[in-house]
Amino acid sequence: MKKEYNINEVANIFNITTNKIRYYEKKGLIKPLRDENNEYRIFDKNHIMTLQAILLYRTIGLSINDIKEILTSNSNSNYLNHFNKQWGIINGEIHRLSGIRKSLEGIIDDLYEADGCNINNNILDIIEKTYKLDNIKNNWKDKWNFDSWAKTYDVSVKEDRGNLKIYKNYNLILENVFNLVERLNINYPSILEIGVGTGNLASKFLKNNYNIIGIDQSREMLSVAKEKYPKLKVRLGEFLKIPYGDKCFDVIVSTYAFHHLNNSEKSIAIEEMIRVLKDNGKIIIGDLMFENKQDEDNVIKDLSLEQIEEIRDEYYSHIDFLEGEFKKFNKELTYKRIDDFNYIVCID
């Protein structure tokens, strides 16, 4: 490799225009030397390596500002911040495009079968449905601020803070979920945990050499989980936009996460779980629930105002609603009540 290059030589190396190199220079991504006599740009091998990195980062969609920050600091946390952000952007775009593709499939099918009477209305209805679905997926908010809770989550669970004492059977629920998966007797199952949090459930699978991936919408929760369990594979993700393709997992597990979705979001989450679940796969959820509206009313009538407010801050599931949603996909639901608020549901 030569020690020095001019701008035309660099452009030829990467098969790009000299204007692109000047653009990256203008944005502060690369700072070539200057010839003392004519002010021509001079690039050394370090500039070549930097430019190669810039071009590669651009191929995965990183912004100029992101690349600039990455080049400024090569710390692991800085890399994670930018690549996790890009992972989320790409996953969101994949889901958006998948929704559009599904809409187009429906429109095309209608066009082939249409008699010409109401086809325009049908097209607009399909597009509107896709728009509303995408809007729900993209507008879920973490109103509980799990990032700020991550470092103290385990202590909070252990001390069972709050008026309802919902965590009194926390370890029992985790054990039950793990044991139910064990009893499935699936050879080398691929397991997805949604809402992995600080990794407490996932650790039980890791200790028994299961192949498990944990996703969570909170980057700080993922950081704590990785710190506690370095061998745990984690990804940024959520119920509404699971970052994996169709039929990837034998088992999906989740504890203390599903109640952060309202009913419209739960319906989307169920469809998402079914999408990534293999044929004959199993879903096991341990969470805060009531059997039905009557059961909720019976429990609430004996609670204090503070306890009721704590329930209203979440979205406790109704099991009869979940049964109906899973039946849409020919899935059967069974359940076990652990205490007044905690249930374990199994779907197969």
> At 305, which CATH number?
3.40.50.150
CA 93-217-255 angle, to 5 degrees, is 130
**Residue 55 near residue 16 (C-beta atoms within 8 A):** yes
Do 252 and 225 lie in one domain? The reply is: yes
Q: pLDDT (tens digit, 9 = 90+) per residue, 118-157?
A: 677 889 999 999 999 999 999 999 999 999 999 999 999 9
Tell me, yes or no, whether 224 lies in a domain.
yes
| Maximal C-alpha separation, the chain | 88
On whether both 83 and 66 belong to a single domain, the answer is no
Tell me the three state secondary structure of residue 230.
Answer: coil
pLDDT the model gives residue 117: 59
Q: List the one residue out of 207, 281, 286, 226 whose CA is nearest residue 254.
A: 286
pLDDT at 185: 92
Task: Extract the residue ranges of the chain whose pLDDT is less than 50.
Answer: none
Q: How many domains in the chain?
A: 3
What is the pTM assigned to this prediction?
Answer: 0.92
Percent of the chain with pLDDT over 90: 93
Q: Which domain holds residue 48?
A: 7-72
Residue listed under structure tokens 């996953």: 91
By CB neighbour count within 10 A (0-12 exposed, 13-18 middle, 19+ buried), where does 132 fall?
Answer: exposed
Is 313 inside a domain boundary?
A: yes
In angstroms, rounded to a whole number, what is the distance separating the alpha carbons of residues 346 and 292? 17
Question: Do 236 and 93 sit in the same domain of this protein?
Answer: no
- Strand intervals (E) in the chain: 33-34, 41-42, 190-194, 211-216, 233-236, 249-255, 277-290, 317-318, 333-337, 342-347
Cβ–Cβ < 8 Å for 58, 67: yes
Conformational region of residue 159, where left means phi above 0, alpha means psi within -120 to 50, and beta covers everything else: alpha
Q: Is the dihedral of CA 146, 150, 152, 158 positive or negative?
A: positive
Q: Residue 21: which of 57, 1, 50, 45 has the closest Cα? A: 50
Domain's final residue, options 49, 72, 95 = 72
